[in-house]
Amino acid sequence: PSNAEGTFGDDNVTVTFTYAKLGKIIPVDPSGNPIPDAPTPQYPNDPTDPTKTTPNQPVPSIPGMNPEVPAVTPNQPGQDTPVTYVPVVPEKQLQTAKIVYVDTKTGKTLETDTVTGKSGEKIDYSTTPRIDEWRDKGYRLVEDGFAEAGTPVYDDNDDVEQIFIVKLDHDTAPVGPNDPHEPGTPINPNDPNGPKWPAKDSYTKQYTSTVHFVDENGNKLHDDNVQTSTWTRTLIVDKATGEILNPDEAWHSDIDKYSDVKVDPIKGYYTDRKSVPGEVAQQQDIVNTVVYKQIGKIVPVDPSGNPIPDAPTPQYPNDPTDPTKTTPNQPVPEIPGMIPEVPSVTPENPGEDTPIVYNKVETPTPKTVDVTPETPKTVDVTSETPKATPVKTAPQVEKVKAPELPQTGEKQNNALTAVGASIMTGLLGILAFAKKKKDDKEI
């Protein structure tokens, strides 16, 4: 450019023209800092005007970066012009990622969620809602591969599938005497259509030991004695399927053995045992029956062994302390006009009748005696004397005192005296008869 001014005159004039350097295009980053190693081209001259540069000068190309303007027209040819460049961002590719929920017990896939986004972008996903849903179905978290990845982003590899694994296992729960649950209700309350709690008898059972008290016809004579043993065990249930994981778990009883049962006496009956021993508790019902038989009777009979009609036949009384026995020394019944051979009995067998022989009480009958006096004769008492015929009597267990006849006063005493006199007269007649027979033989 020229710095001369004015009009040339006639004299010699010296004019000096000074040229200044043209400015450059300076590539800078978005912060205004020069981009290292970037080209800085100088403005080109306007070929027709040394005071100017050409307009619309193209900016230089920088690999990986784009200029904000494609060209510049400097207003001041001597001043640099900064041109801002921004990095070239390659077009992002659409990518797919999968979150797979796996059942570690069976190895099967429970569920797969698929999400999409551009390479390098954060994967906008949370496993928490899904894990909660599976917990509600009886599962428990083993490993959350998505959460453990930190802040996962979509990759830029189309050849490899991007997968995150969430591992879930079956949760378990006890059920038993200390952890009861209503049978048939949902194991997981938030999953009403899922598995149900097992029946109570799969972990609690009761068995009984029963003693019946009956007569010989099976009729009940006494309330049953019933003892109960409770058997329990604790089961482990798969909350995801309802399966019992320890079906062979041992059972345990609340008692080792049942108590002995005392057998009570029952009036009119006896039995063959005083008690029923308690058996070892077992997983089945135990039944014992105590049979009572009727106690025997005292049966009055005549000397021929025939039962005396209308005679009382009292049953032996029970021993109040022993159902297998009767009381000893039981008095026999009284029968008017008859006397028993024994006053009491002690039955050896409580179930057998005991016959007791009764004899009639004989009342002497007065007889008419011929008292015509005969010539007294000397009687040889050494001669033959008729022998008395022995009378067979029933054996007696105990001697019985003969009953005394009732006293009716002096008249009765007189009658007895007369009877005695008659008997004596009769004896004298017999002796006289015997003497006469002897004399006849001697003649």
**Residue 138 and residue 220 in one domain:** no
Residue 233 located in a structural domain: yes
What does each C-alpha distance from 179 to 69, 137, 184, 428 come to in angstroms?
78, 20, 15, 110
DSSP string, 212-235: EEEETT--EEEEEEEEEEEEE--E
Per-residue pLDDT for the chain (443 aa), expressed as one digit of tens each? 444 555 555 666 665 656 678 889 999 999 999 999 999 998 888 788 887 888 889 999 999 889 999 999 888 888 999 999 998 866 668 899 999 999 999 999 999 999 999 999 999 999 999 999 999 999 999 999 999 999 999 998 888 999 999 999 999 999 999 999 999 999 999 999 999 999 999 999 999 999 999 999 999 999 999 999 999 999 999 999 999 999 999 999 999 999 999 999 999 999 999 999 999 999 999 999 999 999 999 999 999 999 999 999 999 999 999 999 999 999 999 999 999 999 999 998 999 999 999 999 987 666 655 555 555 554 443 434 333 333 333 333 333 333 333 333 333 333 333 333 333 434 434 434 444 344 444 43
**Residue 281 and residue 190 in one domain:** yes
Q: Can you list the positions of beta strands (E) in 235-348?
A: 235-238, 252-253, 261-262, 269-270, 275-276, 286-294, 298-301, 318-319, 322-326, 330-331, 338-340, 344-345
Residue 408 located in a structural domain: no
- The two tokens of residue 390 are 């022995």
Whole-structure pTM value:
0.57
**Residue 204 and residue 264 in one domain:** yes
Give the whole-angstrom CA distance, residue 132 versus residue 51. 78
Residue 278 located in a structural domain: yes
Give the whole-angstrom CA distance, residue 367 versus residue 426. 9
Q: For position 416, what pLDDT does the model report?
A: 33
Residue 40 located in a structural domain: yes
Residue 140 parent element (H or E): strand 139-144
DSSP state at residue 380: -
**Residue 128 and residue 63 in one domain:** no
Residue 17 located in a structural domain: no
**Residue 184 and residue 276 in one domain:** yes
Residue in the block written with tokens 């998505």: 146
Domains identified in the chain, total number = 5
The single-letter code of the amino acid at 338 is M
Q: For position 43, what pLDDT does the model report?
A: 87
Residue 75 located in a structural domain: yes
DSSP state at residue 39: -
81 three-class SS: strand
Report H helices in 217-306: none
Q: Domain boundary at 273, 293, 313, which? A: 293
Cα dihedral 243, 248, 249, 255, rounded to 10, equals 130
Give the whole-angstrom CA distance, residue 368 versus residue 372. 12
Q: For position 75, what pLDDT does the model report?
A: 84
**Residue 154 and residue 222 in one domain:** no
**Residue 274 and residue 186 in one domain:** yes
Residue in the block written with tokens 């329990």: 232
Q: For position 417, what pLDDT does the model report?
A: 36
Residue 397 located in a structural domain: no
CATH of the domain at 289: 2.60.40.4300
Residue in the block written with tokens 């969430």: 166
- The two tokens of residue 23 are 């400015």
Domain extent at residue 440: 365-380+416-443
**Residue 47 and residue 81 in one domain:** yes
Give the whole-angstrom CA distance, residue 401 versus residue 329. 17
Q: Domain boundary at 67, 87, 107, which? A: 87
**Residue 165 and residue 181 in one domain:** no
Q: Domain boundary at 170, 186, 208, which? A: 170
**Residue 66 and residue 40 in one domain:** yes
**Residue 300 and residue 289 in one domain:** no
Paired with 213 in beta bridges are: 222, 290
**Residue 174: closest CA among 237, 251, 244, 243:** 237
Q: How far is Cα of residue 192 from the mean position of the Cα atoms in its chain? A: 25
Contacts of 334 (CB under 8 A, 6+ apart): none
426 three-class SS: helix
CATH of the domain at 132: 3.10.20.470
b/e map 84-103, b = 16+ CB within 10 Å: bbeeeeeeeeebebebbbbb
Give the whole-angstrom CA distance, residue 235 versus residue 246. 6
Residue 19 located in a structural domain: no
- The two tokens of residue 438 are 């002897």
**Residue 78 and residue 36 in one domain:** yes
Size of the chain, expressed as the number of residues it contains: 443
